[in-house]
Structure 1
Amino acid sequence: MPTADRPTPTPSALPPLAELVEGAHVVRLPLRTRFRGLDAREALVVEGPSGWTEFSPFVEYDETEAAAWLAATIDFGWGRLPDMRTGRVAVNATLPAVAAHRVPDVLSRYRGCRTVKVKVAERGQTLADDLARVAAARDWVGPEGRVRVDANGGWSVQEAEEALVGLAPYGLEYAEQPCATVPELAELRRRVSGLGVPVAADESVRKAADPLAVARAGAADLLVVKAQPLGGVTAALRIVAAAGLPVVVSSAIDTSVGLSMGAHLAAAVPDLRHDCGLGTAALLGADVTHEPLLPVDGMIDVRRVAVDVDLLRRHAVDDERREAWLERLRASYAVLSG
């Protein structure tokens, strides 16, 4: 299998930096439920010739990692999209690490979804908390629904093995990034081969210098791909084709603009078999559009989002945070230019 360096636009493909900076709107959107340690999500959105696009790397990412997100921003706002295979994409419900009694209330926001991704291995919680949350999720979707778990690399190999043994009776569709490193994933996959719980890789794809290393190592049964961290729809499709594994297209708590990017990626993937993690607008307490990409009948539309300027003003960050984001934009642009 070939290696795949992260594709980035050539300097000639970059729009002028001034065009990005002058058109940038930075918003802070509240979350309905605390997620990944966040109570709100900040994002920069800008309108390019092809439509609205998003730049929203998490605040802890440096300019080198954030540059891939900017490449995606430019690809979606200034580039040409591949042909779409469908106009709607099936999505999963995303369940934060809430107490078990709160599960029905959170999942009720995901209209018609029959797949639930459950966050586990939350810092400060126990395996008993995870078991109770997964059990509640299984009750909610019923025996015909699908339940998957996501540990965000939070377990050691031994902890992951013990957790999956305990969780396997709930009929897991797969376990996403149970351990942090590719060698750990490969070892865990060997240990749990008899459980019938496939291993999926997320961070080992989107945060890796070589996103195909996990596939070459035989460390995962499927890959979770996200448009922004992988450099955009076009770049992500190249990785999907080279990996030769089934994929799930997911998001990073994007606004509906970023979710639109993910939906276009999902709609272009050949033989997409799994519900996608693109229903996360249901986690937001506000959005940048009056027609957010919320799940309806377990699906979202594949469409460009019409951003509302009044909502951009209402949720705009203060001047200090705006300048911090513009500095991130400039630094990431310098990486792409270089």
Structure 2
Amino acid sequence: MVALPTLETLIASAHVVSLPMRVKFRGVVSREVMVFAGPAGWSEFSPFVEYDDEESSRWLASAIEAGWVGYPAAVRSTIPVNATVPAVSAAEVPDVLASFDAVHTVKIKVAEAGQSLAEDAARVGAVRHVLPEAKIRIDANGGWSVPQAVTALRMLNVFGLEYAEQPVASIAELAAVRAALQGSVLIAADESVRKATDPLAVARAGAADLIIVKAAPLGGVRRALEIVAEAGLPAVVSSALDSSVGIRTGLGLAAALPELPYACGLGTVSLMAGDVASPSLVAVGGGMELREVVGDPELLERFAAPAERQQWWLERLRRCHALLATPNPAPPSENGGSGAGARGR
């Protein structure tokens, strides 16, 4: 790992933007991100605003790795990518899918606060109607109890589920759901990996069939590769509603994994009405080609965040940089973040 850049170096290379969403995604209508022009390339620091500083400092470590060190050697240059359907109404599904190219796999958000299982079933059914041959995976972001998850997954599996991502919140609950379903639906762990003090606990507990890995929350591509190797489970690379700069980091991870058995959740730029790079890093023919991404000066200016939000992000950068500069900072809590919004994206 390269020496930690000074705070002044990071600030001098930083841009803060607010990117509008085409549709609301887990409560987000405008995605704020900070991007850096580093010596090894552009990188992104974009923990969600409700995440605490200890959790967010891992995202900064990832940005520093990408911008000041670069990525590990790639073993593939084309990455298959899934489409993502937020918790929209069934009637909105065709329009959402139309923003993605050559859809072969779809990830659908379910268990949204204030919505019913009937609404989830209608949304999943609408996707299956539009794409009868596509692989379908669902993501509950830990929103169900064990009984709710078992009931929901048995119902939704009538549409044919590739897997269910984080149906319940805790590792013990994941193990209980997996045991109850007896292999009829594969269980994927997301928050139980990226928001845990010990990201390998889910594998040791036999609580999941596969894991979702996101480079930024885990501290960077190299740390994510270590976790996948140690977990010994198939991995799906995903993003956290990043700009094209952040998606490039996800591609760096997907390209370096020894095996890539599942399509990656790296297509979320298609859900945005703005970006920091041109052309945007989006799927073509159902996949993404590995390439460099550079911030576009005109887009950085057009989507520049208001002055008070820029100041907020600079203060956050100062605090997270101080944590990285402190030897052996306290580990984050298992749930990570703070407040109800920290349930996950």
Calculate the TM-score normalised by the size of structure 1.
0.95
Task: Indicate which of 45, 51, 65 corresponds to 1:75.
Answer: 65
Deviation at 1:225, TM superposition (A): 0.2
The alignment partner of 1:70 has SS state of helix
C-alpha distance in structure 2 between counterparts of 1:58 and 1:68, whole Å: 12
8 Å contact kept, 2:39–2:67: yes
Does 2:121 correspond to 1:131? Answer: yes
Aligned equivalent of 1:296: 284
Does 2:12 correspond to 1:14? Answer: no
- Runs of at least 4 residues off by over 2 Å: none
What do residues 28-84 of structure 1 show as CA deviations (whole Å, max 9, x unaligned)?
Answer: 000000001010100000111111000000001111000100000000000142110
The alignment partner of 2:218 has SS state of coil
Q: Which runs of 5+ in 2 are unaligned?
A: 327-345
Deviation at 1:140, TM superposition (A): 2.0
Does 2:265 correspond to 1:277? Answer: yes
Name the amino acid aligned to 1:178.
P
8 Å contact kept, 1:75–1:232: yes
After superposition, the CA RMSD in angstroms is 0.9
8 Å contact kept, 2:84–2:268: yes
8 Å contact kept, 1:116–1:146: yes
Task: Indicate which of 152, 157, 160 corresponds to 1:171.
Answer: 160
8 Å contact kept, 1:113–1:299: no
C-alpha distance in structure 1 between counterparts of 2:18 and 2:222, whole Å: 28
Aligned equivalent of 2:53: 63
Task: Indicate which of 88, 92, 96 corresponds to 1:98.
Answer: 88
Name the amino acid aligned to 1:99.
S
Aligned equivalent of 1:153: 142
The alignment partner of 2:265 has SS state of coil
Deviation at 1:267, TM superposition (A): 0.6
Compared CA separation, residues 80 and 295, structure 1 to 2 (3 A): closer
Q: Give the number of aligned pairs.
A: 326
C-alpha distance in structure 1 between counterparts of 2:232 and 2:102, whole Å: 30
C-alpha distance in structure 1 between counterparts of 2:35 and 2:44, whole Å: 4
1:1-338 mapped onto 2 (5 Å cutoff):
13-142=3-132, 144-194=133-183, 196-338=184-326
Deviation at 1:303, TM superposition (A): 1.6
C-alpha distance in structure 2 between counterparts of 1:216 and 1:72, whole Å: 25
8 Å contact kept, 2:145–2:168: yes
What do residues 169-204 of structure 1 show as CA deviations (whole Å, max 9, x unaligned)?
Answer: 11100000000000000011000115x210000000
Name the amino acid aligned to 2:59.
W
8 Å contact kept, 2:276–2:296: yes
Name the amino acid aligned to 1:51.
G
C-alpha distance in structure 2 between counterparts of 1:70 and 1:175, whole Å: 29
C-alpha distance in structure 2 between counterparts of 1:160 and 1:107, whole Å: 26
Name the amino acid aligned to 1:118.
I
C-alpha distance in structure 2 between counterparts of 1:71 and 1:289, whole Å: 22
What do residues 153-178 of structure 1 show as CA deviations (whole Å, max 9, x unaligned)?
Answer: 00000100110010111110000000
Deviation at 1:148, TM superposition (A): 0.3
Name the amino acid aligned to 2:282.
L
